[in-house]
Amino acid sequence: MSAIAATPPIVVGFLLSFGGIAFVLFSRNVGRKRLVLPITLVLFSALWWEIFRESSASTAAVLGVMAVALIANGMWVYKHITYCSTCGRTLQDRPAGGLCAECAAAI
């Protein structure tokens, strides 16, 4: 594997994807989180696919498998993230009918 250059698109993508992750985790604005999460997941997956593509001499089949894995990961994360409608906290893997860990509201 060769080193990957920190090109402006890679650096900007990295900063935006991790900024989106931080926003989804720490913001209390559920409406904006519902908008930011899918954008962040697409950007994060595209960033890692591009890093993988640039850093290895992979065949098209290997890149295809990587793309499928990143899409599956993004769909899994999107399915398992919920928000408390009372306090806005981001929750992951909470069963329906459970309680928010912060405000004890029903989810």
Q: Where are the domains of the chain?
A: 8-81
Measured CA distances, 24 to 35, 77, 90 (Å): 10, 12, 7
The residue with tokens 């697409």 is 42
Transcribe 9-35 into DSSP letters: HHHHHHHHHHHHHHHHHH---HHHHHH
Compute the distance between CA of residue 66 and CA of residue 74 in angstroms, rounded to an integer: 12
pTM here is: 0.82
Mean pLDDT, to the nearest integer, of 23-29?
94
Q: What confidence category does residue 1 fall into, taking pLDDT thresholds of 50, 70 and 90? A: very low
Residue 57: predicted pLDDT: 67
